[in-house]
A and B are shown apart, each in its own frame.
Chain A
Amino acid sequence: MQMDDILLQEAIERYLNNEMSEQERAYFEGLRTSTPEIDQLVVEHAMFQHEMDFYASRRRIKSQLHDTYNNLLQQGILQDGAEKSTGGRIVQLFHRYKRVTGIAAAVGGAIALVISGLVVYFSPVNNNQLVQLSKDIEVIKRNQQYQGKLLNEVKSKIPENARLISGGTGFLIDTRGYLLTNAHVLKGTGAVVINEKGEEFNAAILHIDQQRDLAILKIDDPEYEPLRSLPYGIRKGKSDLGEEIFTLGYPRNDIVYGEGYLSSRSGFNSDTLTYQLQISANPGNSGGPVFNRQGEIIGVLSTRQAQAEGVAFAVKSGFIYSMLADVKKAGTADLDNIKINNRSTLRGLDRKDQITRIENFVFFVKAYQK
């Protein structure tokens, strides 16, 4: 019986490969029409053969491409960046991160960055399922090229020889120039902030709280004229599910408005530090204020979920108060009796009017490494 099966299989293959004589072929086709089982075997094998041919041809081209690539590498016609190195993999990683974070600035800087990188990497907020909304240097670089001329005309306050590392959004919590943003936005040693009119100011990093992912900056620039009182307050209490929210930030060089709603009282993996929001957020929105309808800040936009559309997370505003209390107690930074406003003057205004009053107080933050 098995011998027959083998013969039949062989016949099917010869039939499909057109290897039968005319007579044999006619006989076999007769067999196909009279025996549905055989016909089905033929159809099935034709399909299999087709897939196998495709598979074989792709295997051939793949190995050919692979060989060609390696030949050209050896001839030095193509480069893979690891040529002159002994530790290819490490060097390659180094090159990659050099571009992203500018590690090469100095050996000391490199070590410091690696350490802080590790801290950030292992802290719970940074998870590869989450995307921090700060922009890395590549993005900013590109924006610079994008509007290259413009930037050349207005002389930047970023020191020469400094590398831009990251960017995000920050907002004033005290009109004397105290700004709040995310810790992960400030990856470098210094920062400049830019308002919605494009005016650039030097800023000092006063305090970084990795745990809460919050940071305080102080504008330190003679050109800065303190604004009149803050239009918004920072909410001390909790916010409610379904609350309508909106944000302003700098995913690009112009300020961008976005709106959504509060979708959960806890964040990623039930993290109680954050709220979950349904809002479209992009790299650069990090550190941006999240307002409720009354114009109170209820959180600081920080991360979004990588796999889900429109899911973002914001550090709850209550933690701004607790961070400030900690800093005052420890006395690690001179906050000069900073006092946070918890009353909003935006209540009941049209959204358009709310935004015109707020936008002067929201800044584009660029962090650099000297």
Chain B
Amino acid sequence: MRGDTNEQALLKGLASNDSRAIEALYKDHFGMVQSYILQNNGSYDDARDIFQEAMIALYEKAQSDNFVLTCQIKTYVYSICRRLWLKRLQQQGRFSQSVENLEETVGVEEEIEDHEKRNAAFAIMDRALGSLGEPCKSLLEGYYIQQKDMQQLAAMFGYTNADNAKNQKYKCLMRLKKLFFSQYNIGE
């Protein structure tokens, strides 16, 4: 019972970007994933990337309101990592037999599918922002990601007043939206 509440607390912490929770998750589960990937033709870098992907999937899942984890975090993380890694091996044509399955796994097909969809949306926004150029990119990042207000942004970018910054932000935003929607499939 105690284990359960502990895991719930960890997930809550993760969902609210609590760095202690994130650190605990790394300490508890990274080693297992790293040795799995190293044993299956992967490098240390691969292990770092795959584990990060799995943490992102868990983070985004933990943020949704109706989220319940039906298994241990360990099992979930391991299953996601394993699936992602097998997929990557397959994509690279580095297929090898994987009979080793020492840890318990759960079906994560749906999660992987969702995760890939979100990856695609993330990439579209990333590309759109990247092709905006400066100062638009930094201005919009300042507003939407660092969540600074117009006053602060005007000071950072050397605009004489907040209205000028607003004006510039509007132009940049229109360009970003155009770039974004040219790639983004609304039907999805």
Show the binding face of A for B, using Cβ within 8 Å: 5-6, 9-10, 44-45, 47-48, 51-62, 64-66, 68-69, 71-72, 77-82, 92-93, 95-96, 99-100, 128-131, 135-136, 138-139, 142-143, 145-146, 251-252, 282-284, 306-307
B60 & A283 in contact (Cβ 8 Å cutoff):
no
A135 & B180 in contact (Cβ 8 Å cutoff):
no
Chain B residue contacts of A129, Cβ below 8 A: 93
Nearest CB in chain B: distance from A65 CB, A: 5
The CB with the most chain B CB atoms within 10 A, among A9, A71, A100, A129, is that of A9
Within 8 A of A (CB), among B7-27: 17, 19, 22-23, 26-27
* Alpha-carbon distance between A249 and B96 when the two chains are bound, in angstroms: 16
Interface string of B28-51 (1 = CB under 8 A from A): 001100100011110111001000
* Alpha-carbon distance between A130 and B92 when the two chains are bound, in angstroms: 10
Nearest CB in chain B: distance from A362 CB, A: 19
Chain A residue contacts of B59, Cβ below 8 A: 61
B contacts with A: majority SS: helix
A6 & B52 in contact (Cβ 8 Å cutoff):
no
* Alpha-carbon distance between A66 and B56 when the two chains are bound, in angstroms: 11
Known: A48-B180, A143-B99, A251-B97. A69 touches B52 (CB 8 A): yes
Which of B27, B34, B97 makes the CB contact (< 8 A) with A252? B97
A138 & B96 in contact (Cβ 8 Å cutoff):
yes
A139 & B96 in contact (Cβ 8 Å cutoff):
yes
* Alpha-carbon distance between A71 and B30 when the two chains are bound, in angstroms: 14
* Alpha-carbon distance between A284 and B173 when the two chains are bound, in angstroms: 56
B23 & A72 in contact (Cβ 8 Å cutoff):
yes
B38 & A69 in contact (Cβ 8 Å cutoff):
no
Nearest neighbor of B129 in chain A, beta-carbon distance: A55
Chain A residue contacts of B38, Cβ below 8 A: 99
Nearest neighbor of B146 in chain A, beta-carbon distance: A56
B17 & A142 in contact (Cβ 8 Å cutoff):
no
Other CB < 8 Å A-B pairs besides A48-B177, A62-B52, A80-B48, 9 of them?
A44-B177, A58-B60, A64-B22, A68-B26, A131-B94, A135-B96, A142-B97, A142-B100, A282-B97
B56 & A56 in contact (Cβ 8 Å cutoff):
no
B74 part of interface (Cβ distance < 8 Å): no
B55 & A65 in contact (Cβ 8 Å cutoff):
yes
Known: A6-B166, A9-B170, A81-B44. A62 touches B97 (CB 8 A): no
A306 & B145 in contact (Cβ 8 Å cutoff):
no
A/B interface sample: 12 pairs, CB < 8 A: A6-B167, A61-B59, A62-B56, A64-B22, A66-B52, A72-B23, A72-B27, A99-B39, A138-B39, A138-B40, A139-B97, A306-B92
The CB with the most chain B CB atoms within 10 A, among A52, A100, A129, A142, is that of A52
Nearest neighbor of A93 in chain B, beta-carbon distance: B43
A54 & B122 in contact (Cβ 8 Å cutoff):
yes
A306 & B95 in contact (Cβ 8 Å cutoff):
yes
* Alpha-carbon distance between A261 and B40 when the two chains are bound, in angstroms: 32
A52 & B144 in contact (Cβ 8 Å cutoff):
yes
* Alpha-carbon distance between A69 and B96 when the two chains are bound, in angstroms: 29
A82 & B97 in contact (Cβ 8 Å cutoff):
no
B56 & A58 in contact (Cβ 8 Å cutoff):
yes
A51 & B121 in contact (Cβ 8 Å cutoff):
yes
B111 part of interface (Cβ distance < 8 Å): no
Nearest CB in chain A: distance from B52 CB, A: 5
Nearest CB in chain B: distance from A79 CB, A: 8
Which of A57, A64, A92 makes the CB contact (< 8 A) with B43? A92
* Alpha-carbon distance between A62 and B53 when the two chains are bound, in angstroms: 9
Chain A residue contacts of B63, Cβ below 8 A: 57
Which of B26, B41, B180 makes the CB contact (< 8 A) with A78? B26
Chain A residue contacts of B86, Cβ below 8 A: none
A59 & B145 in contact (Cβ 8 Å cutoff):
yes
Known: A251-B97, A252-B97. A58 touches B41 (CB 8 A): no
Chain A residue contacts of B56, Cβ below 8 A: 58, 61-62, 65
B122 & A307 in contact (Cβ 8 Å cutoff):
no
A52 & B125 in contact (Cβ 8 Å cutoff):
yes
B4 part of interface (Cβ distance < 8 Å): no
* Alpha-carbon distance between A76 and B23 when the two chains are bound, in angstroms: 13
